[in-house]
Structure 1
Amino acid sequence: MAQEARLRAGRGLPLFWRVCLVNGAVFAVGTAVLAASPATVSTPVLAREALVLAVGLSAMLLANGLLLRTTLGPLDRLRLLMEDVDLLRPGQRLPEQGSGPASDLIRSFNAMLDRLEAERAAASGQALAAQEAERRRVAQELHDEVGQSLTAVLLGLRQVADRAPAELQQEVQLVQESARASLDEVRQVVRRLRPGVLDDLGLVSALTSLVTEYARLTGVEVCRRFSPDLPPLGPEAELVVYRVAQEALTNVARHAAARRVRVDLSPTFAAGDAVQLRVVDDGRGLGDSREGAAMRGMRERAMLVAATLTLGAHEEGGTELRLLVPVPGPGGGR
């Protein structure tokens, strides 16, 4: 409401009348100069008179062009921003300078971006909160129902193995191993769906468990470096860091064909108090590929905690992902 009141208060003449007044002022000044000058026009027009007319016309066109560029120039900048704007990269704005219809349009567009980014962040927050709640529910059901059922099956097979004849011992052991492998897979799925270690032991322990399991499953060499003196981020920001690291490692396993991955987590003071997550691989790089759903999902998560997410080529080859999470202030704000 305050923005709308400010725009109404600063609204002047419509753009059409401003352009007309600019052209009228230029032609009026040109006419006055011509009337006050001793210049005359003969019939037929002499070469010297034609030169004077050409110079006067050029001066009028130049003055008209400069004035119109000042009036309409912001519209070109606005068009370029409208073509490139992405709500998952917040903060793209045009400077609000001067007054007039073009400046009012820029202010209105910036205000619209503020509203859209706020609404997108709120909607994303609700969707991701529902997603996390569903993950917790599924993980709980897998742990309580499927996990306990497989555990009961293993106990029953153990009793069967103790009483089975010798010729059936090997078959019973194979079934036991299959049930035990299924139980391990269920536990891995539960850990991926709900990182309980994040709630119990903290972010560093959760990331350590994540990269250790990633290295075991993929065979990729993983070098990790986690600072022991990280500032507190809060549960929501820690979950964002964990999920971004999880998705980044998944993307490396699917697309990068990397042999080595480095995961760093450390405080940084280059852009204020913040914590930086870096995931660097030596894979095939980005190439001409466009951002997919996974990358946009990571950007949506980053928006929830006012974090900055960048993805680009690493100087030594491969791909580098950076997540810069601001540290909450004393009052819990950012």
Structure 2
Amino acid sequence: MGCSVCAKSFTAFRWTHTCRYCSKLVCSACSAKASIVQGVKLRKPRRVCLTCFMDAKFHQPPDTRLPHSSTSSDFGSPKPLDPVFHTYHRAKPPPTLADLSVFAPRYQTDATYFLLLEQALAVIGSSMGLIQLIGTRDVFYVTAYNVDDLPPQMTRVEAGLVTLTADPTLVQEPYHDDMPFIRIPLMLATSCIGTLEVANPSGYMPPADVIKDLQNIASTAAMVMQNTAIESQHHHPNKRTSASRLRQHRGNSASTTSTSSMYSASSFRDTADSTTSSNVSESAECMMEALLTMSMQTATLLRDTKERMHCVV
């Protein structure tokens, strides 16, 4: 039995915690202490998992209205129930993750996202792609490969990100009208925090297994973004980074190996010791591979479970 969020096994160094909202077992890295649950302030903070913490219903007051209990007609026969569609409006984001765009400089100097992008390009056989972070009004580019002349920051209208869906779509970017892109949303709970976009010259949606692999990579990128934001808030609670310090890293080399090395060197150029820079890059690569493997294994397990349930039915 492991963590319900990251699926890692519990050890002496990875303790078991229980989410006070959904009662699932989680580890310390995938949980946080909350003092306000559904608008009610608690006497002492309770630990909840990150999935519940990012859910809109967790921060909304409970609905105290009584439902209409009439289920029969005047003639005594059962009255057919009309389909009910629930729409949950996202409440004010939690203060620890109010706007992930403040962490854009931290994301843009992390080689993990570039390695994830390389994995996505290898899955679909493309040579052009990018990962972008969607803020409240603006769009920030985390990393890009072979995409030239990208502005460091655009509004959501300029980037064509006014309407977003939770499903992969085929889009025409305003800065590359002649090249269609496959857009995979980076989802956290019920909100989209960014997109993974890879070029697809054929103009058609790839097979379902390729889409599934791209979604796994996008899920890993979203998880890393969330963990980075929480870790940065934990170590630097009063530190805020200005958007004017955004840096852009692009790879335009035909060799992914040389491009990755160039990206790693430029990403950690502020580090005095080059050996430390290399170690950080290697650890980031190992973390990316472990997270990617975990997300793929989880997706395969869920898919097999659904198939078995379908066979039983």
Question: Larger relative CO (CA 8 A, sep 6+): 1 or 2?
Answer: 2
Question: Could you state the TM-score of these two structures normalised by the residue count of structure 1?
Answer: 0.24
Higher fraction of strand: 2
Q: Which structure's CA Rg is the greater one?
A: 1
